Amino acid sequence: MSKIPTSKPMSTPTAQIHLSRRKLLLSASAAGLAAISTPVFSQTTSARPLKKFKVQDMPNRWNGYELLFLAQQEGLFKQHGIELELVQLPIDQYTIAVQSGVTDFALSADYIYFANIRGKNLPLIEVASTNPIIDPAGAGDGLFVLKDSPIKQAADLKGKKIAVRSVAFSAAWFTIDYLRRAGIAKDEVQLLTIPDLQLEQVLQTGAVDAVFAYGPIDGQLRKKGSYRQLFQISDLAGRRIQRGGSITREAFIKESPDVVRAYVAATADAIAIANKNPKSVIDLGVKLGRIDPAVGPYLYTKTDSGDYSALQWPEQGLVKEEDVAFWLDIAQRQALVPQAALKASDLYTNAYNPYAKG
């Protein structure tokens, strides 16, 4: 087996803020926010001006962003008086961008990752559950090996090299919990930080023994048929469960509560459309050039049968506390969050959702 050097781990969210805040804000002020931002559509004439809100984007990003583009396509943001503006930034600016105000919402925040952020006392909170529901009947992110690999179960990974997007990100923590259930400690495997686009290469060359793949990489591996998935994250809960969603900074809620309400309401309206016809969501991703039509079915299903019945989003975007509590418990077991430092209710609010009761 060829050997590659251990990649330097990504810093924690707090360290990212201290290291990146100055660079990011100076960049924004020097070039102007418009220089790093790309409006999806130009503002149309209206009786009242639309209020802009900013979301980080990355090339061809789709998974976890489905509702954002569906709401834009259906004109739901405009109906609620707001306008989407995409800010092109790399993945490592995910937390600092929303915390510093360069963006207003960060999408696709896994609860376990967000628990880690809040454990560092960052003033952010989730306002809507916008990721697709994790369902054992569907496909999902997880750990892959070569189809003919002798690794058949978690116990076989002891002493092996596992590639993840970052050793300080959800992929690593999902994998560690999977291993823990088989009695394997974190220090009994070697986790390596490898960029998403290099995961298949390092697995093929034997530089690592397994890779954790998010969408769309997991869909690509699933379609090729020359890889085998050891686990998907639904295996951790063993049931349908919410994964995460849209977060914003508490200061933005105080400054622009009407924008937050409008965003949540438009997203809830998009969910009603998506849940009624989940295939239309995949078709939209293909239309926008964010999904390879050959890979699209494999992003959410285990085959290309065209059965998308397991693909659903949380009803009305409402956050379920018991689901948040499940992921928080995993974060606490891994010491990402000190025991008793946070409650599930500290991580989210349904107060800006028009469908919330009470």
Average pLDDT over the chain, rounded to an integer: 88
Has residue 3 got a pLDDT over 70?
no
Element (H, E) at 140: none
Has residue 5 got a pLDDT over 50?
no
Strand order in the sheet with 82-88: 37-39, 82-88, 51-57
So what's the pLDDT on residue 30? 38
So what's the pLDDT on residue 60? 83
Query: Two tokens at 128?
Result: 């809507």
Over residues 214-222, the mean pLDDT reads 94
**Short-list 164, 174, 167, CA closest to 198:** 164
Has residue 87 got a pLDDT over 90?
yes
Taking only the tens place, the pLDDT of each residue in 241-265 is: 999 999 999 999 999 999 999 999 9
What is the rounded CA–CA span in Å between residue 120 and residue 131? Answer: 23
Which residues, 6+ apart, have CB-to-CB distance to 145 below 8 Å? 151, 203, 209, 210, 227, 228, 230
What is the rounded CA–CA span in Å between residue 68 and residue 87? Answer: 14
Chain length of the chain? 358
Share of the chain above pLDDT 90, in %: 78
Taking only the tens place, the pLDDT of each residue in 273-326 is: 999 999 999 999 999 999 999 998 899 998 888 889 999 999 999 999 999 999
Has residue 7 got a pLDDT over 50?
no
* Band (162; pLDDT cuts 50, 70, 90): very high
The full DSSP string for 303-346 is SSS---TT----GGGPPPHHHHHHHHHHHHHTTSS-TTS--GGG
Enumerate long-range contacts of 296-299, CB under 8 Å, 24 or more apart: 296/219, 298/139, 298/218, 298/219, 298/220, 298/222, 298/223, 299/62, 299/63, 299/139, 299/215, 299/216, 299/218, 299/219
Q: Are 177 and 171 in contact (CB under 8 A)?
A: no
* Band (358; pLDDT cuts 50, 70, 90): low
What is the rounded CA–CA span in Å between residue 232 and residue 236? Answer: 8
Around 276, how many Cα atoms within 13 Å sit in the side-chain half-sphere? 8
What is the rounded CA–CA span in Å between residue 352 and residue 140? Answer: 29
Stretch among 26-35, 154-163, 231-240, 346-355 having the lowest mean pLDDT: 26-35
So what's the pLDDT on residue 304? 86
In angstroms, how far is CA 286 from the centroid of its own chain? 19
So what's the pLDDT on residue 353? 98
What would you report as the CA-atom Rg of the chain, rounded to the nearest whole angstrom? 20
* Band (170; pLDDT cuts 50, 70, 90): very high
